[in-house]
A and B are shown apart, each in its own frame.
Chain A
Amino acid sequence: MFENYDPREGKLLRLLDETGKLAAVPDGMPLLPDDRALDAYRTMVMSRQVDEWAVSLNRQGRMPTYVLNKGQEANSIGAVMAVRPDDWFVPAFRELGGMLVRGISLAQYYLYWYGNEWANHMPREEMHMLPISVPVGSQMVHAVGLAWAERYNGSDRIALTFMGEGASSEGDFHEACNLAGVWKSGVVFYAQNNNWSISLPWSKQSASATLAEKAFAYGFPGIRVDGNDIFAVYAAVRMAADRARSGAGPTLIEGLTYRLGAHTTSDDPSRYRTDAEVKEWEARDPLPRLETYLLHKGLLTQEQTSSIRQKSLECAQAAFEEVVNQEDTLLDDTFRYLYSDMPEVMAAQLARRQA
């Protein structure tokens, strides 16, 4: 199927257009079922509200620097929905939606940006997920190792990992793709190309016309999808996951998307991009697009949309208060979890701090 969407021929997989109309889905292409599309919508609204409330908290001085997902939600929601709950999910740091699909609580998510490592406490067998990874692209090689271990253990679990388009300039992007190609790893690489690495546009990031076409040099397929179309994201990841699970090797998916918000709450995007560009992408926002589809199909009513929005906001607000009322990071914790057994020299340092 991927050969019909060769990025080198300028092809792009899109199923749901900007007006919320679903195209005829080619034979054999996986289609996100309606009930799951409704789940995806609820998750997308939740992600949006969690973001907006965090921004508001940040302006009130109650939330430290926060990374925004607004506009990109369809990528990680559709992708994580397309793999099994026990497949490994290795995020970068703009995959709130996917994390919600995995069952991360809002409080746990807020706790991360609030600044407490307990947010990363994700028991391996329950979550099959790594915590947010800040060093750009570095998590990609972890996915290759996870997939290697699963195959070694005789399991058919695969690994789905995310990165931004800027990660393609990092050495670990190359090392991960190269290893995965050579090892025919059970990995799906999903690049969220939002065109801006903070202030640097794709045109200055790479001389490559597309990110997806880099895959071919590593010996595996690459495909471009409309990352604001949850049906396209789901279909591509599902096909890539099947391919990975069958032992045929990795796939690189480039989701074309746009962050409608700032890079983080500390960033001012008006310094590097135009209002006109933002307006253009607002028209392609994945949320109203999916909403329109569901409304037209009679799977959702206008009344429900406002109540889902309102309830999501209330959940976000309650989750944050839960976080604020939680006991803060303990001095002891910052020492205790570094090694299995605390070395004497550290124990002495801890005792001094406690004195």
Chain B
Amino acid sequence: MKVLTLIEAVTDALRVEMSADKSVIVFGEDVGLEGGVFRATTGLQRDFGEGRCFDTPISESGIVGAAVGMAVAGLKPVVEIQFSGFAFPAFNQIVSHVARMRNRSRGALTAPMVIRMPYGGGIRAPEHHSESVEALFGHIPGLKVVIPSTPHDAKGLLIAAIRDPDPVIFLEPARAYRAVRQEVPDDGYTVEIGTARIEAEGDELTLISYGAQMIEARLARAALAAEGRSVELIDLRTIYPFDARTVVESVRKTGRVLAVHEGPQTFGVAAELMATIMEKAFDRLEAPPARLTGPDVIYPMPRGERHYLLTAEHVLAEARKVLSYEP
């Protein structure tokens, strides 16, 4: 066991898998010598050589497209897109090839790879560095989309993603990279993709979140607990295919639900959660399912971030409304 931050857990997972499997290749912009702009790949080039961890030109479509060829030929590329806001040039490759290869070849060819990218705001970054893109990827058939919020999950989910026979979009909440430290086992354990984690049990309200927003959700839950309210906190962890069973079971127990995420509201992850809850827990609801999300606006530059980001106070206020709702 060692105590790691989320980003250190990412590095640890890459190291474990590169040691275990020679087909695992890590590449992207500035990931080699520099170890990535956030340092997620620190030391990998030194320890595994330039042949297995290397820098590419600034070429997101080229990175992902080359990974398609490598994966078809049997390698396991783990590529880094420097910021999720720079993923868009690679969208054609992701949508048209990465996600489709297995299906369109009826299983003859596959393109298993991990596309890692930091995402989300709160790090005072320039324009185009703070987008939440999980709903975009979650809507593409053929992809899995994963977002850890803790070091333990980051390592276990990333190892699971690397071993997964299908392509995985691995979104790392940049604001949470160094915000939490946690004991992480040394070995190559996995956290199953497609499973949510009940972080804290409760029976009056189900609070669902993921990524950096979990930081605010935890604070809100603690404040409510201090007032004697019992809130079940779920870390969704996988956006697609998400763990509907855990979500629905929890809401059927509590009768009230609030889903919180940073990305825009319309067609967001919470919308899908709400729809699933209406289908599967309608008869047990004691209040309308509620969502608290980013607004449908362009993510602002740093001086405007506070107008966009949700804090624990926002979550708390909304949770109180749901808890006190009476028809």
Contact = CB atoms under 8 A, between A and B. Distances in A.
Report whether chain A binds chain B. Answer: yes
Interface of A: 88, 90, 117-118, 120-124, 130-131, 133, 135, 138, 140-150, 152-153, 159, 171-172, 175-176, 178-179, 182, 333-334, 337-340, 343-346
Interface in B61-96: 61-62, 64-75, 77, 89, 92-93, 96
B295 interface: no
B104 A147 contact: no
Nearest to B166: A339
Chief secondary structure at chain A's binding surface: helix
Contacts of A121: 105-108
B72 to A, nearest CB: 7
Interface of B: 25, 51, 56-57, 59, 61-62, 64-75, 77, 89, 92-93, 96-97, 102-110, 141-142, 144, 164-166, 194, 240-242, 244-245
Contacts of B245: 344
A178 B8 CA distance: 33
B96 A145 contact: no
B69 A145 contact: yes
A138 B111 CA distance: 15
B66 A148 contact: yes
A131 B65 contact: no
Contact of A172 (B62, B71, B107): B62
Contacts of B71: 145
A135 B67 contact: no
A152 B70 CA distance: 10
B93 A146 contact: no
A61 to B, nearest CB: 26
B25 A152 contact: yes
Contacts of A344: 241, 244-245
Contacts of B72: 124, 130, 142, 145-146, 149
Contacts of B109: 120, 122, 124, 130-131
Contacts of B166: 339-340
A118 B66 CA distance: 24
B103 A141 contact: no
B52 to A, nearest CB: 9
A117 to B, nearest CB: 5
A143 B144 CA distance: 25
A123 B108 contact: yes
B57 A142 contact: no
B106 A182 contact: no
Contacts of A179: 56-57, 59, 62, 66
A333 B108 CA distance: 13
B325 to A, nearest CB: 29
B57 A182 contact: yes
Contact of B102 (A143, A145, A337): A337
A178 B69 contact: no
A152 B51 contact: yes
B103 A337 contact: yes
Given A171-B89, A172-B61, A179-B59, A146 B69 contact: yes
B69 A143 contact: yes
Nearest to A150: B73
User: Which has the most chain A C-beta neighbours within 10 Å: B61, B97, B240?
Assistant: B61
A337 B111 CA distance: 12
A150 B107 CA distance: 21
Given A124-B109, A339-B166, A135 B69 contact: no
Given A135-B92, A149-B75, A144 B104 contact: no
Contact of A117 (B62, B67, B105): B105
B305 to A, nearest CB: 31
Given A88-B73, A121-B105, A175-B62, 7 more contacts: A122-B108, A130-B72, A141-B61, A141-B62, A145-B66, A182-B57, A346-B241
A153 B244 CA distance: 41
A144 B66 CA distance: 6
A11 to B, nearest CB: 30
A120 B67 contact: no
B73 A175 contact: no
A333 B69 contact: no
Given A148-B66, A340-B166, A171 B61 contact: yes
Contacts of B244: 344-345
Contacts of B96: 135, 138
